[in-house]
Amino acid sequence: MAYRNSYTLDGVALSNVSAGYFPEKSTGIRTVPAKRSAGISYPGVDGEAFLAGAPYGPGGVAVTMYVEGTDHQALMQNYEFLNGLFLQRHKLLKLRHDYDTAGTVYREADVKCTVSTELKLLNMNAGLVDYSLEIPKSFWRSAEATTTSPVLTTSTQTYTVAALTGGNAPVSDALIRIKGAVSGATITDVATGSSITLTAPLLATEYCVIDPVNWAARKQTTNTWALTGGTDYSNNVVSNEGFGSQFVMEPFISGGALVYQVTLTSSSPATSPVVEFRAKKAFL
């Protein structure tokens, strides 16, 4: 059964009574990442000027583990195992939070342990230990990436990126693929104004795969999302961003619901060209 603190860390279920450990009831859900101040203060002026798009700091989760053993030796060996699990430092660890009892709805985050406490003995065979987990990339993500594919036309159209519906945080790592035939295309995020433009043509049998995080693009002649092979097209994709990701989508309230929307336009479209977004949902 999944509870509010049903977690799996690096493939190890933290709720394992038979093994001698489980998250204690004070284990948290998550710490929503704080937004770093981006306002500007002026001498003699009250308050500060608002600047949109303040970046988020790391997120986090506070985990308190109950650990026990059949005797003190077994307790200490289980404690050592948990320390070895939580305190790995050669990689970020995948933390999974199950939302339902079937384990089919869950969120994932890459975490590192920043602080652990001394084992607080309840008796010689049981104790509590706290682990503070930090999410360097700020957000929780859905498990699988999904794809959505609107058609490009010469007129500017607003499109809801349905693949991201349900999320509530910025998405800056969506792969974008444009299939010709077009002589150019522009994609703009409605909420932020973040925009990318394809400035070179594509034939009806060609694809441009764009990786906004790495400011990279490849022209492919087969139906693939690969960022290797093909032709380097990075110089033919222009962004209005000056740093960070090349393109960011952010949700906003429309009709009482959170939506991710973009505007799309293209030049010289033929044979129903499309733009595709492949991304995981993001959550605060």
Q: 13: domain CATH number? A: 2.40.30.200
Q: State whether 62 and 187 are in the same domain.
A: no
pLDDT tens, residue by residue, 263-280:
999 999 999 999 999 999
pLDDT at 197 over 90: yes
Average pLDDT over the chain, rounded to an integer: 92
pLDDT tens, residue by residue, 23-67:
998 898 888 888 877 677 888 888 887 777 788 899 999 999 999
pLDDT tens, residue by residue, 123-133:
999 999 999 99
C-beta of residue 96 within 8 angstroms of C-beta of residue 108: yes
Q: State whether 16 and 124 are in the same domain.
A: yes
Span 65-78, average pLDDT: 97
Q: How confident is the model at residue 153 (pLDDT cuts 50, 70, 90)?
A: confident
Domain of residue 119 covers 7-139
pLDDT at 260 over 50: yes
Q: State whether 118 and 53 are in the same domain.
A: yes
pTM above 0.75, yes or no: yes
The predicted pLDDT at position 4 comes to 55
Question: d(Cα 229, Cα 207) in Å, to the nearest integer?
Answer: 12
The predicted pLDDT at position 2 comes to 45
165 vs 116, 141, 155, CA distance in Å?
36, 13, 24
Number of domains in the chain: 2
**DSSP code, position 234:** G
Q: State whether 135 and 219 are in the same domain.
A: no
Enclosing H/E stretch for 282: strand 282-283
Look at residues 121, 139, 157 and tell me which one is the last residue of a structural domain: 139
Question: d(Cα 137, Cα 143) in Å, to the nearest integer?
Answer: 15
Q: State whether 132 and 152 are in the same domain.
A: no
199 domain residue, yes or no: yes
193 domain residue, yes or no: yes
Look at residues 97, 120, 139 and tell me which one is the last residue of a structural domain: 139
Span 127-148, average pLDDT: 93
pLDDT tens, residue by residue, 92-126:
999 999 988 777 889 999 999 999 999 999 999 99
Span 145-173, average pLDDT: 89
2 domain residue, yes or no: no
